[in-house]
Chains A and B, each alone.
Chain A
Amino acid sequence: MADHQGVAVYGEVKDNALAPITAEGLGIGRKLADALKQELACVLAVGAGGDALAKEAIAAGADKVYLVEDPALADYRADAAVAVMEKVAGQVKPAIIILGQDDIGRDLAPRLAFRLGTAATLDGTELEIDAASKRLLATKPVYGGNALAVYTSPSDPQIVTIRTKAFTPLAPDASRQGEVIKIAAELDEAAVRTRVVDRVTEEVAGVKIEDAAVVVAGGRGMGSADGFTQLEELAKLFKGAVGASRPPCDNGWMPDTAQVGLTGKIIAPELYIAVAISGSSQHMSGCSGAKTIVGINKDAEANIFRHARFGVVGDWKKVLPAFTAKVKELLAK
């Protein structure tokens, strides 16, 4: 479809700045746009601060910024976001739209695809342009990460969400030049059927799991909430964070925000210590970006050891205290 050109990244705002996922989107978007020899745009549908955000987006790789600034867009509301993106997509006609695989993109991307009558691929971990067809090839984990699938869509725009931390942002370059084009939101409030009643940030003590350089995580084999106190002790030595696979969260041993996995947090720490975690594909999807994975599990055949660089086969109740003591000793040196 020659009438659709270029790559557009849906911009997200976090703490009044461009969200990391958007910089990652612009990073891979730049590569795709270059492969197509077309432009990279960032769509900023924001409540305020558009000019500063637009500069950030240009520094992060965008050739153009489509700025839709309206107080009604201050907080994410699905109906409003779909309507704005439908309007922008109709006007700009991008060949590819990139969103983040987070609570916004997961909500917005499929809605937008169905609204526009096209297909979306969610949770892309690799994106490339097919040399012959010039179509987007989007690779995503399926079967809980047991397999990877490559999808393509014959209709435009080709919509894709990207996994957090799967793509590298460009180093911000303030000298980059770009054009800012303002588009009016013209929102029909009557078409926004949902109302956000409350937004709650659950405070976590210490380092956030997404930001921690070291994450110590426990699984079903921890047996109870008590075991996680011991993981906390080890994590503290590294100024790290404690995570969990799904069962400890489902059992209430750990808060849901600590869940690492395909449907939880996707993290990429320097060091990931998996204790009593079998290493299901679902879980590994959340931590396989870690630089070094260490497994402690009593089952030598556990899947975690297929991913771990280092490991100990043994009961965590015996291994962990001794490991923590030795780490403490080594770090003190």
Chain B
Amino acid sequence: MNIIVCVKQVIDPEAPPSSFHIDAAANKAEMRGASLVIDPYGEYAVEAALKLKDAGGGKITVLSLGDNLQREVVKKPLAMGADELVLLEDEAYRDGDAYATASALAAAIRKIGEYDLVLCGREASDSNAGQTGAGIAELLGLPCTTLARQIEANGNTVKVSRVTATGYEVVELPLPAVVTVSNEIGEPRYPTIKGIMAAKKITPLVWKPADIGLEAAAVGAAGRRAELCRLYQPVYEGKCDFAAGETPEEAAAALADKLRQAKVL
């Protein structure tokens, strides 16, 4: 099975919230001192692809879009076991919304041509937009399901167990199809030494907008359909009333007393 996995380079969402800052003038966020990583949901999508490859073989092509993509970051899926890397890398791709991003990814997927399954994370940890996978499916006219917790390939179809509020449902899709992956798929594997060595030898393909048949005006900020009016940090009062005591046990009892006084208990 030929699988294309879309991943995004983001600022590390695990960095402490205190390192998070907003450049109000530019409506942009930054994490001071935080590193760049592959978006965790994208990593779950890579893991889902690797599970399918483990079970039935095939080729995994990783596709990423951005500007200034750090090679050691975007090569991580290769080190985990993916086979090829295609980068949509150009200044023109910068600051796109879901529409601009999905349009470019769909055009690149069309150019890659041979694929059975396209996997994306359920949403990216920075924009939390949750639209890219569904958007790609619509643009390519492919069947789609979202929030996968398990994927099973079966000839010309895949059976996808998707997370619902009360449990899960199993959806069968004809291939080619688009599936977005949730964290319930299981922890992504660590890169192996062998994988890291192999990844070093792989030279990514780099495609500019013209290479995928798109005008610069159709991608990135110029291709947006939604406008970002304002980006800001919510303010928390931070007025925690700490219960104290000589011992942790005393503090615990004091906490219960405080809750009773506040009529919470």
Give the distance in Å from the alpha carbon of A71 to the alpha carbon of B147 in the complex. Answer: 26
Q: Chain B residue with minimal CB distance to A300?
A: B242
8 Å CB contact of B264 from A78, A256, A271, A329: A271
Give residues of chain B (222-265) contacting chain A, Cβ–Cβ below 8 Å.
Answer: 224-234, 236, 238-243, 247-260, 262, 264-265
A209, chain B: closest CB distance, angstroms: 11
B255 x A312 contact (CB < 8 A): yes
Give the distance in Å from the alpha carbon of A147 to the alpha carbon of B122 in the complex. Answer: 19
B226 x A151 contact (CB < 8 A): yes
A149 x B231 contact (CB < 8 A): yes
A292-333 interface bits toward B, Cβ cutoff 8 Å, 1 = contact, 0 = none: 101110000001011111111111001111110111011100
Q: Chain B residue with minimal CB distance to A114?
A: B138
8 Å CB contact of A312 from B127, B171, B252: B252
Judge whether A122 is part of the interface by a CB distance below 8 angstroms.
Answer: yes
Q: Chain A residue with minimal CB distance to B260?
A: A330
B199, chain A: closest CB distance, angstroms: 25
| CB-based A-B contact count at 8 angstroms | 257
A106 x B130 contact (CB < 8 A): yes
8 Å CB contact of B125 from A144, A196, A320: A144
Q: Determine the chain B residues whose CB is within 8 A of the CB of A197 once the complex forms.
A: 159, 170-172
Max chain B C-beta neighbours (<10 A), residue from A106, A114, A262, A311:
A114
Q: Chain B residue with minimal CB distance to A279?
A: B17
B172 x A201 contact (CB < 8 A): no
Give the distance in Å from the alpha carbon of A326 to the alpha carbon of B260 in the complex. Answer: 10
How many of chain A's residues have a CB under 8 angstroms from any CB in B? 87
Q: Determine the chain B residues whose CB is within 8 A of the CB of A202 once the complex forms.
A: 166-168
Give the distance in Å from the alpha carbon of A159 to the alpha carbon of B239 in the complex. Answer: 37
A114 x B134 contact (CB < 8 A): yes
> Are A150 and B228 CB-contacts (below 8 A) given A102-B165, A140-B128, A310-B262?
yes
8 Å CB contact of A326 from B183, B225, B252: B252
Q: Determine the chain A residues whose CB is within 8 A of the CB of B72 once the complex forms.
A: none
Give the distance in Å from the alpha carbon of A329 to the alpha carbon of B159 in the complex. Answer: 52
A322 x B134 contact (CB < 8 A): no
A295 x B264 contact (CB < 8 A): no
B253 x A193 contact (CB < 8 A): no
A59-94 interface bits toward B, Cβ cutoff 8 Å, 1 = contact, 0 = none: 000000000000000000011000000000000000
Give the distance in Å from the alpha carbon of A210 to the alpha carbon of B165 in the complex. Answer: 10
Give the distance in Å from the alpha carbon of A292 to the alpha carbon of B146 in the complex. Answer: 34
Q: Chain B residue with minimal CB distance to A125?
A: B234
A305 x B127 contact (CB < 8 A): no
Give the distance in Å from the alpha carbon of A118 to the alpha carbon of B128 in the complex. Answer: 18
Q: Determine the chain B residues whose CB is within 8 A of the CB of A198 once the complex forms.
A: 169-170
Judge whether B33 is part of the interface by a CB distance below 8 angstroms.
Answer: no
Q: Determine the chain A residues whose CB is within 8 A of the CB of B184 once the complex forms.
A: 249, 256
Q: Determine the chain A residues whose CB is within 8 A of the CB of B135 once the complex forms.
A: 110, 113-114
B125 x A107 contact (CB < 8 A): no
A303 x B17 contact (CB < 8 A): yes
Chain A residues in contact with chain B, CB under 8 A?
78-79, 102-103, 106-107, 109-111, 113-115, 117-123, 137, 140-144, 146-155, 193-202, 210, 246, 249-250, 256-257, 262-263, 265, 270-271, 280-282, 292, 294-296, 303, 305-315, 318-323, 325-327, 329-331
